[in-house]
Amino acid sequence: MKIALIGAGRIGQVHAQAIASHPEASLAAITDYHASAAEALATQYGSQALSAEAIFADDTIDAVLIASSTPTHADYLEQAARAGKAILCEKPIALDLARTRDALQVLAAHPVTCALGFNRRHDPQFAALKQALVEGRIGDLETLTIISRDPTPPPAEYVGASGGLFRDMTIHDFDMARWLLDEPITHVQAAGSCLIDPAIGKAGDVDTAMVILTTASGRLCHIGNSRRACYGYDQRIEAFGSKGMLQAQNESETRLRFTGEPGQVEEKPKWFFLERYAEAYSREIGDFVEAWQAQRAPLAGASDGLEALRLAEAAERSLKEGRRISLDHIH
């Protein structure tokens, strides 16, 4: 599968590495707003720097991986669909529902394999948790508790352009919740505060938040977010059901334990998503290649992006209005 990479920034580099390591994928071309970045990465992986136009026009290229800046995602996605190329698009497709829906319509008109970069579904531990749920290990799922904290807050200027905490950060947790709850989410309640960086508050956003989701059958889900966990990336999920509980725990570089003056000490969790989800990024490419080869749906698709965005929209409204928001009212 010949994949062209759109965007040679930090996350683009992660994908370049994953593509290069996959036995059945190759990095056919790279483009970036900064041509020099594309060239540098192309040199590193023995690929070529091309313009986006040239990529879409090149019939030997099977797929594009869209890892450019968020505002460009939807346009590239539509161009790629029209060019008949398989797509792996970093989330989000867009920060608003209308633009996202438009892109989905183009995809409907030009059906191609289209995967969305909800990388956490590919994490081995979360995947094992999902598998255990499917196998009925805990009977009927009743509640889900998702803790998701970043190690450091982004600069306030980033926050302004990010669409806010729910669209930028919680969006991953909304997707995990949807994937694991496995039935329609009907209501959203949210609370949030600015406790870490006043500049985030001035930008109109929160840096600490809690959300409750309710599903059609009454399952409940808690999401707890913080923009700053001084000890690293805190990524845990607890699924509770009629026959037991499953807990995905934080991971650290090694399991070495020291016992001494301060107590019994194990390593801190891995620092951030590049470390924690390194394996997930690799598996994400694997799923994309397989889905394209087998003409099956990838593990996360474009409509998952839309649905997660609806939840973010509902959470934002709940935070503002102090009410439980029904998903029926989010279009």
Instruction: Write out the binding residues for its own copies, residues 246-285 only, by CB under 8 A.
Output: 246-269
Dist. CA 300–CA 118, nearest whole Å:
6
Q: Is 324 in the site for its own copies (CB under 8 A)?
A: yes
Q: Is 67 in the site for its own copies (CB under 8 A)?
A: no
Nearest distance from C-beta of residue 37 to its own copies, angstroms = 20
Q: Is 42 in the site for its own copies (CB under 8 A)?
A: no
Task: Answer yes or no: are the C-beta atoms of 65 and 88 closer than 8 Å.
Answer: yes
Letters for 140-159 (x = contact with its own copies by CB under 8 A, - = none) are x-xx-x-x-x----------
User: Could you say which residues in the range 93-122 bind its own copies, by CB under 8 A?
Assistant: none
Among candidate residues 225, 254, 238, the one with its CA nearest the CA of residue 312: 225
Q: How crowded is the C-beta side of 322, counted as CA atoms within 13 Å?
A: 0
Letters for 173-192 (x = contact with its own copies by CB under 8 A, - = none) are --------------x-x-xx
Window of 103-111, 131-139, 171-179, 309-317 that interacts with its own copies by CB under 8 A: 131-139
Q: Site for its own copies (CB under 8 A): which residue of 71, 84, 124, 198?
A: 124
Q: Is 219 in the site for its own copies (CB under 8 A)?
A: yes
Q: Site for its own copies (CB under 8 A): which residue of 83, 106, 112, 195?
A: 195
Element (H, E) at 307: helix 302-321
Q: Which two tokens stand for residue 118?
A: 């909800």
Nearest distance from C-beta of residue 144 to its own copies, angstroms = 10
Q: Site for its own copies (CB under 8 A): which residue of 107, 138, 176, 181?
A: 138
Window of 6-14, 95-103, 123-131, 303-311 that interacts with its own copies by CB under 8 A: 123-131
Q: Is 222 in the site for its own copies (CB under 8 A)?
A: yes
Angle between helices 97-109 and 73-82 (to 10 degrees): 10
Task: Answer yes or no: are the C-beta atoms of 30 and 16 closer than 8 Å.
Answer: yes
Dist. CA 12–CA 69, nearest whole Å:
10
Dist. CA 218–CA 238, nearest whole Å:
17
Cis preceding linkage at 92, omega within 30: yes
Radius of gyration for the alpha carbons in the chain, expressed in angstroms and rounded: 20
Q: Is 85 in the site for its own copies (CB under 8 A)?
A: no
